[in-house]
Amino acid sequence: MPVQYYIFLSIALFCIGVMGVLMRRNAIIIFMCIELMLNAVNLLMVAFSKMWADAGRIDAAAAQIFVFFIMVVAAAEVAVGLAIIVMVYRNTHAVDINILNRLKN
């Protein structure tokens, strides 16, 4: 099975994530779309790992370690990110990112 299949799947998932970020205003949905994009990349990484393992490279496991670390970072990110969103919600009673236009000043 060609590895391209996984590549295209990953691209599709990633682009869906991008579209989500662009189309939605709900901060939580945007956050979820970011997770989706992360997973698209993870999937691609694992596919490459398999590809190199099949080609006989012994260090192919490094890619899976990377995926592992990405998950670690993602978990930490979610913890902090959700805390921020909760904080914002508590102050503004909304999760609409258009309210958060204070970056201007």
Please report, as a single letter, which amino acid is at residue 68.
F
Closest distance of CB 8 from other proteins, Å:
6
95-to-14, 16, 31, 103 alpha-carbon distances in Å? 23, 21, 11, 16
Please tell me whether residue 95 adopts helix, strand or coil conformation: coil
Pick out residues in 7-36 that bind other proteins (CB under 8 A): 7-9, 11-26, 28-29, 31-33, 35-36
Pick out residues in 46-65 that bind other proteins (CB under 8 A): 46-47, 49-51, 53-55, 59-62, 64-65
Would residue 39 be called left, alpha or beta, if left means φ above 0 and alpha means ψ between -120 and 50 degrees? alpha
Query: How many residues lie near other proteins (CB under 8 A)?
Result: 81
Task: Give the span between the Cα atoms of 95 and 88, in whole angstroms.
Answer: 7
Closest distance of CB 75 from other proteins, Å:
6
Q: Does 92 bind other proteins (CB under 8 A)?
A: no
